[in-house]
């Protein structure tokens, strides 16, 4: 279980202990991962030094709009000042909802309570039922919505294409081609969306091959991968937060 699946489960679970166990499972990692993380940090620092940057943060952010870690940090601190009062106000509303629900004036809000009581507050204040909202977000509709967004924003279209023998590692995997009417082929994306035994139990988006000029006349199309862990297969309904998270990350790749 990953953090996003845990949050989805906790939106509907009425039992505190179940929410706590789900949260702890979704936000815990094997202790051995600390060694992997340390190696990754050291490798990134080494890369930055080779590229003559002070740190990996400098290296990673230099080509972006912020330009430097100091500018990015200044923006985040300034943003925090502006939203802190509203965040405290919303926190108190959610905590009060829990206290009324449990009839306990001393009850405090725990991390595993957030999704459940946020849903309760929204349902009460705005007559929103997250299960009703989820009924509009079947997996197939979300994929069609993604195609519509890509065409509307970029003028490009997705279409499923056949794979070569040995290219597909599981029957559930789908290969999509991204095409623009003027620019031609833009790249390919593999979708591996459904859960199965032995598969990574989380959501991930990563490049398999980058786009680059091979010669003055030939361009190598990029290939990227999208992995999810939807459990209920064809009948999967997605919560709004999961839809927003996945669409945001897929749009970045495009």
In this predicted structure, the answer to whether residue 94 has a pLDDT above a threshold of 90 is: yes
- Cα 96 to Cα 39, 89, 92, 107, 121: the distances in Å are 44, 11, 6, 9, 10
- pTM for the complete prediction? 0.56
Please tell me the predicted confidence (pLDDT) of residue 234: 47
pLDDT band at residue 2 using 50, 70 and 90 as cut-offs: low
Percent with pLDDT over 90 in the chain: 44
Mean pLDDT of the chain: 83
The pLDDT of 118-125, averaged and rounded, is: 84
Please tell me the predicted confidence (pLDDT) of residue 22: 85
Percent with pLDDT over 70 in the chain: 83
**Looking at per-residue confidence, does 113 or 251 come out higher?**
113
Residue 19 CB burial class (10 angstroms; 0-12, 13-18, ≥19): buried
Using alpha carbons only, give the angle 125, 137, 26 rounded to the nearest 5 degrees. Answer: 80
Please tell me the predicted confidence (pLDDT) of residue 82: 95
Enumerate residues 6+ apart whose C-beta is below 8 A from 154. Answer: 180, 254
User: What domains does the chain contain, in order, with CATH numbers?
Assistant: 64-128 (no CATH), 139-253 (3.40.390.10)
Beta bridge pairs of residue 206: 225
**Looking at per-residue confidence, does 253 or 201 come out higher?**
201
143-185 residue pLDDT tens: 888 888 889 988 999 899 999 999 999 998 999 999 999 989 9
CA distance linking residue 219 with residue 212, whole number of Å: 6
In this predicted structure, the answer to whether residue 189 has a pLDDT above a threshold of 70 is: yes
In this predicted structure, the answer to whether residue 235 has a pLDDT above a threshold of 60 is: no
Please tell me the predicted confidence (pLDDT) of residue 63: 85
Neighbouring C-alpha atoms within 13 Å toward the C-beta of 36: 5
For residue 130, the 8-state DSSP code is H
Q: Edge-to-edge strands of the sheet including 174-180?
A: 157-160, 174-180, 184-194, 223-230, 204-209
Please tell me the predicted confidence (pLDDT) of residue 116: 87
Residue showing tokens 């991390």? 111
DSSP H or E stretch at residue 189: strand 184-194
Q: Is residue 171 within 8 Å of 178, Cβ to Cβ?
A: no
């Amino acid at each position: 279980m990953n953090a996003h699946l845990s949050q989805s489960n906790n939106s509907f679970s009425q039992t505190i202990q179940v929410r706590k166990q789900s949260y702890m499972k979704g936000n815990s990692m094997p202790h051995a991962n600390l060694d992997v993380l340390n190696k990754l940090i050291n490798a990134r620092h080494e890369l930055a030094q080779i590229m003559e940057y002070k740190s990996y943060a400098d290296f990673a952010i230099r080509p972006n709009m912020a330009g430097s870690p100091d500018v990015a940090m200044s923006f985040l601190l300034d943003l925090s000042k502006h939203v802190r009062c509203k965040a405290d106000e919303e926190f108190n509303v959610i905590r009060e909802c829990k206290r009324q629900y449990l009839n306990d004036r001393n009850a405090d809000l725990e991390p595993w309570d957030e999704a459940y009581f946020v849903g309760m507050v929204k349902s009460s204040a705005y007559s929103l039922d997250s299960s009703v909202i989820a009924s509009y977000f079947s997996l197939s509709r979300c994929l069609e919505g993604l195609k519509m967004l890509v065409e509307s924003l970029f003028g490009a279209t997705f279409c499923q294409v056949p794979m070569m023998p040995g290219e597909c590692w599981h029957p559930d995997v789908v290969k999509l081609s991204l095409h623009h009417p003027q620019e031609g082929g833009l790249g390919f994306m593999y979708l591996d969306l459904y859960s199965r035994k032995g598969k990574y139990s989380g959501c991930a988006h990563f490049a398999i091959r980058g786009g680059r000029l091979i010669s003055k006349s030939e361009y190598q199309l990029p290939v990227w991968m999208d992995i999810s862990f939807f459990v209920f297969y064809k009948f999967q309904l997605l919560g709004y937060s999961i839809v927003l998270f996945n669409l945001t990350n897929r749009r970045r790749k495009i």
